[in-house]
């Protein structure tokens, strides 16, 4: 550990970066000089497998608690094969509860505070819209969710001037927020290494590789867990000079329910498909057409946008679509974040880190 590092108890977790800290510092991949295996005595290092949002939030909590942490990431660079890299970055517990267990709301709201200490978080809420002919869908969505207010055309225009005159009714979830997932991952990786942790890229690992040592398996869909399945999500990044949005906008469309999340410099993430499949590979033509059509339905000016990136990844999910943090001896497994990696990692990582510390102390 870096000298002068003050371990903090997990329940006294404070954000690892100042809210105003720059989160695009030059990114140093890893400190190759740190030892991976102790040469003798009881284990001191906790090995975290996977540098997605689950692995990095857990590793950060462990470093903050004064533990020696090595993250082993199979990909050669941050995010290259992580579902986390393709996420929308919506911190939308109320909206997500429309189709998920309501137990996600409370930890999801707490997660917004966690992220505000790590990276730039925009607390501008979420706007949910539907065309007039789909007003029934809007009523259903409202009935299934909390934390919203009904908005008319005037309020929609006040919130998002570029959508003026396009929608007559919507729902506004004032308490929701969003972030840029790539900046969040980079900020965590940077802070982790600056705080004495290590990330080893290009190092595929399995819990069996560290006999007698404590491991936290955060390999997403690759984690060892029998009931885990993949739910493929495809996305498109657009750049538009014509459209400006301040917050994520969800469009309730009978065939293509999508969301558009604004990023910096005119970039918009359009997502995401939900396909029961663990197939990797590029986005399909059909999904691209559907996502782009829905973006066009939200605002025709997206027709002139540049398509700057497309991507697909498999969300790790259990049958109930809720994450699990489990321990078997010295191996803690944290996966199953489904659609809620950024939303729920703050709370789940606290549990994973606590379990790993218990495992270390009883090893
Ligand atoms: C299109 C899309 C949009 C999404 N939008 C949102 C959103 O708006 N908000 C939200 O909260 N969530 C969202 N999600 C869900 C979120 O992205 C996932 O829940 C989350 O990324 C899962 O994180 P993870 O760390 O478990 O897995 P991953 O991010 O997949 O990370 C696992 C890591 O383990 C590594 N790995 C694999 N095998 C090995 C090995 N043998 N050794 C070492 N490393 C290994 C992989 O390379 C990878 O880096 C979205 C997902 C998708 C696909």
Q: What is the rounded distance in angstroms from the CA atom of residue 252 to the CA atom of residue 234?
A: 17
- pLDDT value of residue 21: 34
Q: Whose CA is nearest to atom 21 of ligand 1?
A: 84
Chain Cα centroid distance, residue 131: 29
Instruction: Give the phi and the psi of residue 36 in degrees, each rounded to 5.
Output: -90, -45
Reading across the β-sheet that carries 177-179, which strands appear in turn?
Answer: 90-91, 177-179, 121-122
- pLDDT value of residue 225: 86
**Which two structure tokens, joined as six digits, stand for 149?**
């207010």
- pLDDT value of residue 327: 97
Query: Does ligand 1 have an atom closer than 6 angstroms to the CB of 317?
Result: no
Please list the residues that pair with 326 across neighbouring strands. Answer: 333
CA distances in angstroms from 58 to 151, 161, 237, 325, 329, listed in the order given? 39, 40, 28, 11, 18
- pLDDT value of residue 40: 55
- pLDDT value of residue 10: 32
Q: What is the rounded distance in angstroms from the CA atom of residue 355 to the CA atom of residue 206?
A: 18
**Residues of the chain below pLDDT 50:** 1-39
- pLDDT value of residue 280: 82
Ranges of each domain in the chain: 1-17+44-124+176-227+319-363, 126-174+229-317
Q: Tell me the fold of 126-174+229-317.
A: D-Amino Acid Oxidase; Chain A, domain 2 (3.30.9)
Element (H, E) at 6: none
The CATH homologous superfamily to which domain 1-17+44-124+176-227+319-363 belongs is FAD/NAD(P)-binding domain (3.50.50.60)
Q: Of the residues 219, 287, 335, 338, which should be mutated to test ligand 1's pocket, given the most ligand atoms within 8 Å of the CB? A: 219
- pLDDT value of residue 41: 64
- pLDDT value of residue 342: 98
Q: Tokens 């094969």 appear where?
A: 81
Q: N- to C-terminal Cα distance for the chain?
A: 20
Query: Does ligand 1 have an atom closer than 6 angstroms to the CB of 343?
Result: yes
Cα–ligand 1 centroid distance for 151 (angstroms): 34
């Amino acid at each position: 550990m870096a000298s002068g590092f003050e371990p903090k108890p997990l329940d006294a977790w404070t954000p690892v970066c100042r809210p105003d800290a720059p989160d695009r510092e030059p990114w140093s991949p890893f400190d190759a000089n740190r030892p991976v295996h102790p040469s003798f005595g009881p284990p001191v290092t906790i090995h975290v497998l996977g540098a997605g949002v689950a692995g990095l939030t857990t590793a950060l909590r462990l470093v903050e608690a004064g533990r020696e942490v090595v993250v082993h990431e199979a990909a050669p660079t941050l995010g290259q094969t992580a579902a986390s890299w393709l996420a929308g970055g919506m911190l939308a517990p109320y909206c997500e509860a429309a189709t998920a267990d309501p137990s996600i709301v409370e930890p999801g709201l707490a997660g917004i505070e966690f992220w505000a200490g790590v990276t730039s978080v925009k607390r501008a809420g979420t706007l949910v819209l539907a065309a007039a002919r789909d007003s029934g869908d809007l009523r259903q969505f409202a009935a299934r969710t909390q934390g919203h207010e009904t908005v008319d055309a005037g309020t929609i225009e006040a919130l998002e001037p570029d959508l003026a005159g396009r929608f007559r009714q919507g729902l506004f979830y004032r308490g929701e927020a969003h972030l840029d997932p790539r900046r969040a991952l980079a900020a965590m990786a940077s802070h982790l290494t600056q705080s004495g942790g290590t990330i080893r890229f290009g190092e595929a690992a399995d819990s069996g590789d560290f006999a007698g040592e404590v491991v936290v398996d955060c390999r997403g869909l690759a984690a060892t867990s029998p009931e885990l399945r993949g739910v493929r999500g495809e996305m498109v990044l657009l750049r538009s000079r014509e459209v400006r949005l301040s917050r994520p906008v969800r469009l309730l469309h009978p065939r293509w329910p999508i969301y558009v999340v604004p990023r910096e410099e005119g970039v918009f993430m359009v997502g995401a498909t939900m396909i029961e499949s663990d197939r990797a590979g590029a986005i399909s033509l059909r999904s691209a057409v559907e996502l782009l059509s829905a973006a066009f339905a939200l605002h025709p000016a997206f027709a002139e946008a540049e398509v700057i990136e497309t991507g697909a990844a498999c969300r790790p999910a259990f049958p109930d679509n809720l994450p699990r943090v489990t321990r078997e001896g010295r191996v803690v497994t944290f996966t199953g974040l489904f659609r809620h990696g950024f939303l729920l990692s703050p709370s789940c990582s606290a549990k994973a880190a606590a379990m790993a510390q218990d495992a270390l102390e009883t090893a």
